[in-house]
Every structure is written in structure tokens, then in C-alpha cells.
Structure 1
């Protein structure tokens, strides 16, 4: 997913590059959408508003839409290129930043926020959660997903002196770890760190689940799915929190 961490020309150019991935795996999006659908319940006479902040090309929101029938999904992204693609999939897609001037939205306007694969790209995640908290109504839901620094294979890689998967030391190339694709990860969280971070931002953590990573080699995917039963070992962290 894309967003603009700071007003920095090099980072802006990086995230506006069409070659930079702007979508996560479909299974992950479905898991997150099921969590949100269970939290929101059936749509009533007045549709609830769900913001997909860092919507990228809109794939994740479009995947979630059938599970959120009757609710209004609004995609928000900084990248104009991503929004152009998102508008082919979403009825509502607007440009906005979590830092700087903030989102062009009123306080308390949203019932839920999807925040998928964004926080790891941010220079100032504290201000980002402040802004998300501002646009959520009291008791509103935050569904956040991010790679797990302490994923089962990262623990083994670190013991072997290898840079963990998901971490990046350059925006130009991958160095010291498996993989070839640069996606702009600036921060990584363990399950414990994510819980503490979100709680400190004024949210109550409702639950934390694990999800597999599509980039795991095929022979290891069964093990990766098994690790989801223990979020602290899973590839991806799916956190559900509510605004206090």
C-alpha cells in the first residue's frame, strides 16, 4: 500500500513510481475484511463509512467490498498514480496525507479505518495514528496490518546473521537478505511492540491475529500457515483496535 511518509522529494518520487507495488495479497485482505465485517455487523438503514487509508490501487478494498455490503468504502491515498487505478475499482477514492496537512475529512466522520501495509512505510507513525483517531468516531474500529519483524523465519535468519525479511536498508536495492523487490519499508513491529504502540495512541486492542505471506517459498507455505495460530510468529500481524 502507498502513502507519503514525509515531504521529501526522493521518497515522493519513490512512492509515485508505478513500478512500486501498491497492493497486498488477496488472502490477507479477506482475513482483515472478515474481522471488520464481524465488528461492524449487518448494515443498517444508514450505511457506515469505512476508510481504506493507503488504499493503493484499490484491490484490497474491492476484495473486501462483498463482505462489507451495505457499508460505504472510501479509498484514501497520497499517490496520484495509485488513485487513478483505484478509481477503476472504487466508487469513492480521494487524495489525502496522514502527515503535513492531514486528511481532508471531518473529525469523527468514519466508523472504521482499514490501515493495511502502510504503517511500516511511515517516518512519523505517531502522527498518522493521531490523525486516524481524529477521523474515527468514538468506539470506531481500526483494522491495521503490517509485517511481523519477529516472524518465525526472521528469527532463524537473525541467528544466522542475515538481515530479516521485510526490512530494507536502501530504497535502491535489497542488501543482506532474501528477496529482490524494494517496497520502501522504514519501520517494522513485533506483536508486542504493535500492541503497545497502538494502545499508547489512544486505542484499545480488541484482538491480534496472524496471516501468511505470499512471498514465502512454496515448500514452506504450510509451515507459514501453521504459524498463524501464534500471531507472535506469523508473517503478518492483523490488529483490531477501537478508539477509546
Structure 2
């Protein structure tokens, strides 16, 4: 992931921000691999009935490309609203199309998808309620949602808040870092604790199946063993991996 250059002109709005090629559109491979394994376990082998998996907010296609070898026979389609992200995604996945997470904004029929990968997207959204409504629309009944997002209650964020420091992952500006560790502006608008995420997804018409933790690639190297240990308790983990099914 690369930082937003200090010489870049300030973005006019969120669309302008995400069309900037310097804005990071990929996350750590450890998170992507853990999420792909959860999805492969949920879907099972194609066994003559290939499933359709939508990677919504696919970015550069890293998550879809990581999942593909674990999902033989299934069809993976990348979806993003950023033309720059789609150009990069098409080098990694065979299908990548433009779509938006507003009412009817995804170019798929209702109930046409068996699973949705929703990796590091929900924290960027102005209207996450509408996004989950649209995801629920395209999923078949019983279809799988694999969502990942940073954990506001990560072990180091608890310590930072006690010290009066802005938590990691939270941002107060699209133009620079203020009051928190780190150097990258990534456009986070909303953050979730495990409890809040479970309640929000359940209220949106999904049954939560499991919640796991994943490490954050941006943790300083000396602290990475501790971050991996924290994955055993999602309440403390850096990244939340949630599996839910459409009711």
C-alpha cells in the first residue's frame, strides 16, 4: 500500500478521492487468505453446480485472486465503482465490472449470487445500510456474506484511547493524518467494534455464522507476534472477519 502524496491536489469529494491512483486499494494478504478459507469452507466444492461469487469493492483484485485457487469451479466477479481500481483488477481476475452500492446499483439480478466478498469496504461508506440492502438483494436466500473490516476495539486502540490518542484506522480528514499513528490516508468514515458489527449485520437481514480475527499488515514488526496472538480473540484482533448468511 502506498501513501497519498502530499503534493496531490485535495480531493473534491469521495469519488475524486478513490479515483486517485495513489490511494491504497488493497489490504494485507494474511487477511485475504483467512477470508478466502472461510468462504471456501462455507461454499464447499462446486460439484457440478458452480457458484457465483461477487467481490464487491474489489479494489485491485487481490482478494479475488487470493480466493480463486481455493474456489475451483466457482465463478468470481470483481465489482468496483472506481475505473482506476477496475483497470488493475482486470489484470488479476477474468471478470471485473462497474457497480455501485445504492438501490439497484449492482448490475446483477436479485438472488443471482451465491456469495459476496466484502473486504475492507464498509468502513469507507457514507450509507452502509443501503449497501447491505443491495448486497442482500443480489444474494440468494441462504447466500453467504464474507465481510472484513478494521476493529475499533483492537488491542492497541484501547491503549491509544486511554492515552488520549486518535485510534488507528480512524480518520478526521481526507487530506492528511491528524492525531493518530500512521502515514496513509485511506478514507475511513465508519469503524465497528465486534458487537456493533454483529448487531448491524443481523439488523440488515443476515444471520451471523461466525466472527474471527485477522492481523493487520501495518503493525510495526516488533509487535506483529502480539498482533497474531490477538487474532484468537476477535474482540482484540486488528481485523474482523465476519461470515453471515442471508435470511
Instruction: Using structure 2 for the length normalisation, give the TM-score.
Output: 0.95
Report the counterpart of residue 235 of structure 2 in structure 1. Answer: 232
Matched, 1:39 2:42: yes
The whole-number CA distance in structure 1 between the counterparts of 2:39 and 2:17 is 31
The whole-number CA distance in structure 2 between the counterparts of 1:145 and 1:165 is 16
The whole-number CA distance in structure 1 between the counterparts of 2:122 and 2:12 is 20
Hey, which bits of structure 1, 4+ residues long, moved more than 6 A?
none
Report the counterpart of residue 23 of structure 1 in structure 2. Answer: 26
- The 5 Å alignment of 1:87-106 reads 87-99=90-102, 101-106=104-109
Residue of structure 1 aligned with 2:113, choices 110, 114, 120: 110
Report Cα offsets for 1:110-136 as digits up to 9, x if no partner.
000000000000000000000000000
- The 5 Å alignment of 1:95-174 reads 95-99=98-102, 101-174=104-177
Q: CA RMSD in A?
A: 1.2
Give the drift of 1:217: 0.5
Instruction: Give secondary structure in 1 for the equivalent of 2:198.
Output: helix
Contact kept, 8 Å, 2:104 with 2:134, in 1: the verdict is no
Matched, 1:59 2:62: yes
For structure 1, the 5+ residue unaligned runs are 2-7
Report the counterpart of residue 185 of structure 1 in structure 2. Answer: 188
Report the counterpart of residue 6 of structure 2 in structure 1. Answer: none
Q: How many residues align?
A: 238
Instruction: Give secondary structure in 1 for the equivalent of 2:46.
Output: coil
For structure 2, the 5+ residue unaligned runs are 2-10
Contact kept, 8 Å, 2:166 with 2:180, in 1: the verdict is yes
The whole-number CA distance in structure 1 between the counterparts of 2:138 and 2:41 is 21
The whole-number CA distance in structure 1 between the counterparts of 2:204 and 2:95 is 28
Matched, 1:222 2:225: yes
Matched, 1:12 2:15: yes
Report Cα offsets for 1:94-125 as digits up to 9, x if no partner.
00000265111100000000000000000000
Matched, 1:200 2:173: no
The whole-number CA distance in structure 2 between the counterparts of 1:40 and 1:64 is 12
Give the drift of 1:88: 1.0
Instruction: Give secondary structure in 2 for the equivalent of 1:226.
Output: helix
Instruction: Give secondary structure in 2 for the equivalent of 1:232.
Output: coil
Report Cα offsets for 1:47-90 as digits up to 9, x if no partner.
10000000001111101110111100000000001001111111
The whole-number CA distance in structure 2 between the counterparts of 1:144 and 1:153 is 22
